[in-house]
Chain A
Amino acid sequence: MQALHDMDVSTSQAITTICPFCGVGCGMTLQVQQSGAGTRLSGIAPQLNHPISRGQLCAKGWSTPFAIDAADRIKTPLRRTPGGFQPISWAEALKSIGESIRTILEEDGPQALGVISSARATNEDNYAAQKFARAVLRTNNVDHCARICHSPTVAGLKQTLGSGAMTNSASDIEQTDLIVVFGADPTENHSILGGHILRAREQGTRLIVVDPRKTRLARIADLHLQLRPGSNIALVNALLAEIFANNWQADQFLDARCEGLDALRKSVARTDADAGAEVTGVAPELVRSAAREYSQAKKAMILYGMGVTQYVSGTNNVIALSNLALACGQIGRPGTGVNPLRGQNNVQGACDMGCLPNVYPGYQAVAEEEIRNKFARAWQVSVAEHAGLTSLGMTLATLEDKFRGLILFGEDPVVTDPDQTRERRALDKLDLLVVAELTMTETAKQADFVLPAASFAEKDGTFTNCERRVQRVRKALPPPGEARADWQWLGDIARELGSDALDWESAEEIFDELAALTPIYSGMTYAGLDREHGLQWPCNKEAPQGTAILHSDRFPIGRARLIPVHHVEIDEPADDEFPLVLTTNRLHFHYGCGSMSRKSPLLERETPDGILFINSFDAHNLSLSQHSPVKVSSRRGFIETRAIISDEVPAGLVTMPYHFREAPSNRLTNNAMDPVTKMPELKACAVRVEPLPADAQPRTMDEILADEAREVAGD
């Protein structure tokens, strides 16, 4: 990037598009200039007339020019050889990949192959990925990373409300009387929405924060319910018990729109604020105040995040929140609702597009014959009858020699998945691993073929943000070298396999195809999205302008369901050997696996020197001072880092962000899973912290692995 006019500029252009970093989906304008030397990015500005961000971006959004910098991008296909990766032509890459897929298909059939798409890629790419799996490979083995973020949301809200997305919209934050932030850190992870909460708070909106950590919002909240990790259900049940005991529930609403009240009443009657306190550690008065405020507010909205979903009880945690909102009638109106804050920019879209093993685009179930026939007809192929494997299922099947070939893009499971060692082992075992990426990631390093992918700034398409708003992403720059959009190279592989299922000329053509097959998108076109600055689904004949608030008149399942749920202990509580509980968090400046955000020298500089956040009480007991080098171990492994003493965390709890390759927290985290969604319990495991010698330099993970390899070799 250079100043606007350093070269002999022939034309300049400003392309308005969507931030690639998180589910808020802020608008940004990329300034590009054409000269003899090609097209270059010369600047970035926030989009002033964007319906949510209105002229604002967070640090990640502002760092976009660094993230997509061409300098260390992968520019040609690469093939793994004993001597390292070798550049090859697209033709060679496609031929070899095609051969390998054909061999696996012949020997083991479609169930041995699968696709993992990306919550960072566009809807068009995701639609292409699942169509490639279903119509070309003929398998439902397709998934994306929501598994480690919000699959319990989809599973939980689908059961209780009939739809697994944010029920209301970002703008409801300005209309509500009370905001409950539950297990989420929006000022750090969804900063622009977090900013809306700050603004609402200044204008007198009440704020209740439920979080084991003293987050930024907890500091300014009216009430902070600092519960023990993993006690969400106990807390919500205590709130419900108080609400029913005081007759604060919304009788009319319950009567008219819900079912299952008696069972819920009976199940929470066993607890109250005092009994709950023994599990949650939250003072009963606080629980009573929160119960009164939430149930009595005219309009109250719940915003929740991974502090709810990333537990063995994840799905039930979501159901508990839904029970609470339904019991108080805080849903289906402006300023209310149960609102998951989803992490990655297009995780909503990846789900909407059916990059899930059990549903086609628009959550149309694979299990239903009528739906299968609909897609078989539209695609003119026969489709697989049974649901496919989740990403974790693919990993496990690989280890059992039942799965052999994986195509993966825009994800770095080696860094982000819970059990790094197992993940590496599985990827190693695959006969074919194809990874398409912008830059070399840990996962790409394991691949047989690495394909150069186009970044969001280099292609057209759409992202769907957390409030179900489908927004246009516009091509501002040519992809570097031979990089291609994901739908393009997927189409190339399909053609190599003799299929014309992915023969599209443009992203818009894909969008028109998917809108025709996806009822919740059926009223959308690119022209409409341009005109309206995005449209919120469902957008169809009945709602041509889209839908800002779900469930206003009825739930998709008719009556909403109240479902009793019970507290489940975290899978691995602290004990004598591992006396502290570790929880994971994210830092404002970083994102996912960090492969994009860490390319900015400014954001990289914001990385603290150490990443283990520990309370001063525990630090004192361990004789740690600020920045002391430490070793953190769990039953699964250890990492080395430095301690940051912080009263953000209560005694007994330590936290680590998970973006750091040097000290990946997933060496430590537990694999115990939510039985419904197989969501791993990333938010709590038992660890031990030990001081290293004061002058020791903590080793990075790579150094530890190298040392271990040397020791093994030396033995």
Chain B
Amino acid sequence: MTDYLIDSPITLAKHIGQSRDLWQLKENDSGERGWQLSAPEIFSALRSPDAMESAKQFFFAPRENIFQFDGNQFRESLPAPEPFALVGVSSCDLTAIAYQDHFFRDDPHYQARRQQALLVGYECLSPCAKGFCPSVDAGPGAREGSADLVLHQLQEDQWLLRVLTDTGARALEGLVLEKAGDAAQTQRHNQIEACIEAFPDDSHIHAGIEAINSNSVAQETWDAAGIQCLSCSGCTTLCPTCSCYGTSDHTTGDTMIRERFWDSCLYDGFQREASQNNPAGAAGDRVRRFWYHKFSREFFQASDNPGPADRYGCVGCGRCEVTCPGVIGVHSMMKKITE
């Protein structure tokens, strides 16, 4: 597919904003960053891991009603959003969306929202605060197919606009753009290499991944981490690849509604059975399971169908490190494993 040069993300936003709602990262009056419905005239230049919440909420809703039963009939409550675009998703979060796309490939609720979305990526030129995307093959360059369009800044007023999907190409129809030459591609390549170089040492991540995959982490390490896990659910809530949900039924009059909501495998109740038996009854086992899901190659999702999900469950965004009150987020935990 052809790549283009564009003077500003705003030019792009104005164009796609004609047919879609635009969501971008914004800062509120208190200085907190998050996804907001936005006008096309501004480009925030925030990167998505600067916001606590990832983009997964756009597709996998924190809470939603799944169906309704009125005594005779089941009615599915499928969402029907208008077309929208997420502008400025960093590579790690794009990789996470691709991972979730695979997990929820048959989930009508997820897909109803996902089909309406246009993903506009935004490649980082310098490392973010706690990130380590290069070590888990998730960035800083956007992975093939993980976005529809990708923005990469070359100069103050010159951006490389990469087109990764047909949807992306269609979204550009009507916009007259100059094709990008080799020089632009080379510059992008060099900038990404420089960004990778600039990441701080994360040998503890590599060593942690190897220790997990060779099953050489002592049980005591997990148990000690288990004492520190306060089961707050922060890690699983903010992690862009976590996908567990729970359901509960509410009845009013004759109508029963089933709601589903984000769950957390760090809760004791997550796997407890009615008999009170719990295969992960010890907190340390729950912590271990979480990190195996993120880093064990046994959990690669699609062995028969190599693709976006055939990868680690961690995209290196660093959110769990920030949000974990127990000091067992990704950097802390991998250091403990490898100490």
Using CB atoms and an 8 Å cutoff, list the residues of chain A in contact with chain B. Answer: 1-9, 11-16, 27, 29, 31, 33, 42-49, 54-59, 61-62, 65, 71, 187, 191-192, 194-195, 198-199, 202, 216, 219-220, 530, 533, 588-589, 601-602, 605-606, 609, 626-627
Contact = CB atoms under 8 A, between A and B. Distances in A.
Contacts of A71: 250
B82 interface: yes
A601 B59 CA distance: 22
B325 A47 contact: no
A8 B232 CA distance: 33
Given A6-B61, A65-B63, A192-B325, A601 B261 contact: yes
A2 B64 contact: yes
B269 A606 contact: yes
Given A5-B84, A56-B324, A62-B234, A48 B248 contact: no
Contacts of A56: 232, 234, 322-325
Contact of B233 (A62, A195, A202): A62
Contacts of B232: 56-59, 61-62, 191
A15 B28 contact: yes
A192 B322 CA distance: 12
Contacts of B248: 601
Contacts of A6: 61, 64, 79-81, 113
B165 interface: no
Interface in B303-328: 322-327
A1 B63 contact: yes
Contacts of B26: 14
Contacts of B30: 16, 27, 29, 47, 49, 530, 533
Contact of A602 (B81, B269, B327): B269
A499 B76 CA distance: 54
Nearest to A58: B232
B28 to A, nearest CB: 5
Contacts of B237: 62
B227 interface: yes
Contacts of B268: 606
Nearest to B30: A16
A1 B261 CA distance: 10
B237 to A, nearest CB: 6
A187 B37 CA distance: 37
B174 interface: no
Interface stretch (B50-58, B118-126, B292-300): B50-58
A3, A49, A65 interface centre (most CB from chain B within 10 Å): A3
Contact of B325 (A1, A11, A195, A202): A195
A134 B237 CA distance: 46
B16 to A, nearest CB: 15
Given A49-B31, A55-B323, A3 B58 contact: yes
A602 B59 CA distance: 21
A44 B53 CA distance: 9
Contact of A14 (B21, B28, B59): B28
Contact of B52 (A55, A65, A194): A55
B234 A602 contact: no
Given A65-B62, A198-B326, A602 B230 contact: no
Contacts of B228: 198, 220
Given A46-B52, A55-B52, A59-B230, A5 B327 contact: no
18 contacts: A3-B59, A6-B81, A12-B35, A16-B29, A46-B52, A46-B323, A48-B52, A49-B30, A59-B232, A62-B233, A191-B230, A195-B230, A198-B327, A530-B29, A530-B30, A602-B246, A605-B267, A626-B276
Interface in B239-293: 246, 248, 250, 261, 263-264, 267-269, 272, 276
Interface residues of B, number: 55
Interface string B20-42: 01010010111111111100000
B63 A14 contact: no
A46 B325 CA distance: 12
Contacts of A9: 21, 37
Contacts of A605: 246, 267, 269, 272
A51 to B, nearest CB: 12
Nearest to B56: A3
Main secondary structure of the interface of A (DSSP, over half): mixed
B32 A2 contact: no
Nearest to A28: B32
A533 B261 CA distance: 31
Contacts of B250: 71
B273 to A, nearest CB: 11
A46 B21 CA distance: 26
A191 B246 CA distance: 24
Contacts of A606: 231, 267-269
Given A59-B233, A602-B246, A11 B79 contact: no
A588 B230 contact: yes
Contacts of A602: 233, 246, 261, 263-264, 267, 269
Contacts of B58: 3-5
A33 B36 CA distance: 9
A42 B57 CA distance: 9
A55 B23 CA distance: 22
Give me the 7 closest cross-chain CB pairs, A-B, nearest first: A195-B325, A605-B269, A3-B61, A16-B30, A601-B248, A1-B63, A12-B37
Nearest to B332: A202
Given A606-B267, A606-B269, A627 B276 contact: yes
Contacts of B53: 31, 43, 45
A2 B79 contact: yes
B242 to A, nearest CB: 13
Contacts of A626: 276
A472 B33 CA distance: 18
Nearest to A608: B268
Nearest to A606: B269
Which among B21, B30, B248 has the highest number of chain A CB atoms within 10 Å?
Answer: B30
Contacts of A530: 29-30
A9 B23 CA distance: 11
Nearest to B236: A62
Given A56-B232, A202-B327, 20 more contacts: A2-B64, A3-B62, A4-B23, A6-B113, A9-B21, A9-B37, A12-B37, A31-B53, A46-B323, A48-B52, A59-B230, A61-B232, A62-B233, A191-B230, A195-B327, A601-B261, A602-B267, A605-B267, A605-B272, A606-B269
Contact of A49 (B32, B61, B82): B32
Nearest to B26: A14
A198 B225 CA distance: 11
A191 B37 CA distance: 33
Contacts of A601: 246, 248, 261
A430 to B, nearest CB: 33
A11 B39 CA distance: 10
B230 A187 contact: yes
Given A4-B23, A14-B34, A46 B230 contact: no
A187 B324 CA distance: 13
B81 A16 contact: no
A211 to B, nearest CB: 15
Contacts of A627: 276
Interface in B95-145: 113
B234 A57 contact: yes
Contacts of A195: 230, 324-327
B231 A16 contact: no
